[in-house]
Amino acid sequence: MPPKPLDYGSINENVKKSQYAVRGELYLRASELQKEGKKIIFTNVGNPHALGQKPLSFPRQVVALCQAPFLLDDPNVGLLFPADAIARAKHYLSLTSGGLGAYSDSRGLPGVRKEVAEFILRRDGYPTDPELIYLTDGASKGVMQILNTIIRGQDDGILPVPQYPLYSATIALLGGTLVPYYLEETANWGLDVNELRQSVEQARFKGITVKAMVIINPGNPTGQCLSEANLREVLQFCYQENLALLGDEVYQTNIYQDERPFISSRKVLMDLGPPISKEVQLISFHSVSKGYYGECGQRGGYFEMTNIPPETVDEIYKVASISLSPNVPAQIFMGVMLHPPQPGDISYDKFVRESTGILESLRRRARLMTDGFNSCRNVVCNFTEGAMYSFPQIRLPPRALEAAKQAAKVPDVFYCLKLLEATGISTVPGSGFGQREGVFHLRTTILPDEEDMPAIMDSFKKFNDEFMEQYEDNRGYSRL
């Protein structure tokens, strides 16, 4: 009986090679346990609303009105919706040709893209062309489109930071080669250009053409915020080494310290002036899923292209057009997010209350969690400067490593599964993101409700300290 096309042995090998730990083994096990009735705390994905964060009122009001425009004709609509939301809904409907149900331009509604460009100008002080801004169903789709354009085959290397596994998974799916480089944990996950240079040289020595570099700023899972100097170094490095730069900036409004506010890669590039500002090929990504919006389920994002030749832009447009258009409601979310209520608007006060409430709480939780982890035995945790995650290092004793081997599990997976079974806390093992040999981490989010945090950290501490008790025997620990 000949193998059938969808038999396991017959499918695309790249699909099999690709891994995405964020919804991998730990998540599946957690889901099983949840079905069995165990209470699970899902800290595996940056999914704020799933952990009780409320949506902001204003954008939801605007989109609801756009969904049901007949409401706008109802004399009672003002009882449920404030006047500025009504006005904004009418504005966005006017930007569509046929309302939310019509395919938009494959690049997104021109009116919204113009608003994105205006936002970028306000943020950075440099004008940008709306024609070079493409809205996508989430930033992830944009990343996949761009990587698909860059990667020709096995010889094309990409340089992701210890990284959100969207990048490694997509590179594998496309049959490219991942060129790793390590951030420096002891220097607060700092980015060292010499380290970068070494990685690129090693890859080239192996015959790999390194095409592009990815930075995630603020970082995921590591949470560090790059300094302006660091960003300049990275851009100059890309210029010297002829790499395109993918700037994943979806966490740009999740900043929990004041020493290093967010500065966009594009601004730094433009500040550097010619020739570099006209030559480095930069693609910047943003999303409605993070920040204080947390609207993951809407699937709204965009990418902005700088210094990409017109013929390449044409090709990117062509591929975008095959999927016809990004979803229209999320485009409106993007417009509203980048153009929030202003002082004097009816909804302004509520908007400020809601958004600062969320950001201040995130800042507190970042601190709570970092301190909580640092108070645990054999756990060392860098401060979460930005984004939504904590990435503590767990120093596993040799006997724990042996036990993991016996159980045929990678050590951090072993630890995380035990953590899950004991406490219901569902994390993602560090091996899903990449880490140095012999060093183990887990990634959790800082998103559980502030009220629940102390109990969660206590639960973790109890588990961890018992685990260490069980497996320690003073012979020494796994570490750098």
Partner 1 sequence: MRKSAADRFRHLFNRSLILLRHRHHHHPFPSSSSLSPFSRSRFFSSTPFSMASDSPFPVTAQNINPKVLKCEYAVRGEVVTLAQNLQKDLQANPGSHPFDESLGQQPITFFREVLALCDHPAILDKSETQGLFSTDAIQRAWQIVDQIPGRATGAYSHSQGVKGLRDTIAAGIEERDGFPANPDDIFMTDGASPAVHNMMQLLIRSENDGILCPIPQYPLYSASIDLHGGFLVPYYLDEATGWGLEIPELKKQLEAAKSKGINVRALVVINPGNPTGQVLGEENQRDIVEFCKQEGLVLLADEVYQENVYVPEKKFHSFKKVSRSMGYGENDITLVSFQSVSKGYHGECGKRGGYMEVTGFSAEVREQIYKVASVNLCSNISGQILASLVMSPPKVGDESYESFNAEKENILESLARRAKTLEDAFNKLEGVTCNKAEGAMYLFPQIRLSQKAIKAAGDANTAPDNFYCKRLLNATGVVVVPGSGFGQVPGTWHFRCTILPPEEKIPAIVTRLTEFHEKFMDEFRD
106 binding partner 1? (CB under 8 A)? yes
452 binding partner 1? (CB under 8 A)? no
Residue 157 token pair: 């290397």
Length of the chain in terms of residues written? 480
8 binding partner 1? (CB under 8 A)? yes
CB of 314 to partner 1, least distance (A): 5
Judged by CB under 8 A, which of 235, 244, 250, 442 binds partner 1?
Answer: 244
192-231 residues near partner 1, rule: CB under 8 A = 211-212
Options 18-26, 335-343, 359-367, 389-397: segment touching partner 1 (CB under 8 A): 18-26
Residues 6+ apart with CB under 8 A from 63: 89, 329, 332, 333, 336
148 binding partner 1? (CB under 8 A)? yes
CA distances from 415 to 217, 221, 404, 412 (A): 28, 18, 8, 5
Residue 345 token pair: 């608007």
CB of 279 to partner 1, least distance (A): 7
Options 100-108, 111-119, 200-208, 402-410: segment touching partner 1 (CB under 8 A): 100-108
320-379 residues near partner 1, rule: CB under 8 A = 321-330
- The C-alpha atoms of residue 305 and residue 283 are separated, in whole angstroms, by 5
Residue 423 token pair: 């406490």
Residue 90 token pair: 């009418």
262 binding partner 1? (CB under 8 A)? no
Tokens 């809205």 identify what position?
A: 135
Judged by CB under 8 A, which of 5, 37, 273, 274 binds partner 1?
Answer: 5
What does 367-400 look like in DSSP terms, one character per residue?
HHHHHHHHTSTTEE-----BTTEE--EE---HHH
| CB contact at 8 A, 386 and 251 | yes
Residue 331 token pair: 């485009």
**How many other C-beta atoms lie within 10 A of the C-beta of residue 335?**
27
- The C-alpha atoms of residue 257 and residue 259 are separated, in whole angstroms, by 6
Smaller CB separation from partner 1, 333 or 440: 333
Smaller CB separation from partner 1, 86 or 225: 86
Site string for partner 1, 289-328 (x = CB under 8 A): x----xxxxxx-------xxxxxxxxx-xxx-xxxxxxxx
CB of 268 to partner 1, least distance (A): 19
Residue 40 token pair: 């699970």
CB of 428 to partner 1, least distance (A): 12
Judged by CB under 8 A, which of 87, 102, 121, 187 binds partner 1?
Answer: 102
Smaller CB separation from partner 1, 47 or 370: 47
Closest CA to 231 of 263, 273, 183: 263
| CB contact at 8 A, 211 and 245 | no
CB of 17 to partner 1, least distance (A): 11
Judged by CB under 8 A, which of 198, 240, 242, 470 binds partner 1?
Answer: 242
Q: Does residue 223 sit in helix, strand or coil?
A: coil
CB of 423 to partner 1, least distance (A): 19
117-136 residues near partner 1, rule: CB under 8 A = 131
CA-atom Rg of the chain in angstroms: 23
Options 16-24, 249-257, 355-363, 453-461: segment touching partner 1 (CB under 8 A): 16-24
CB of 467 to partner 1, least distance (A): 28
Residue 114 token pair: 């113009």
| CB contact at 8 A, 416 and 429 | yes
80 binding partner 1? (CB under 8 A)? yes
160-189 residues near partner 1, rule: CB under 8 A = 165-166, 169-170, 173-174
Judged by CB under 8 A, which of 26, 43, 95, 96 binds partner 1?
Answer: 96
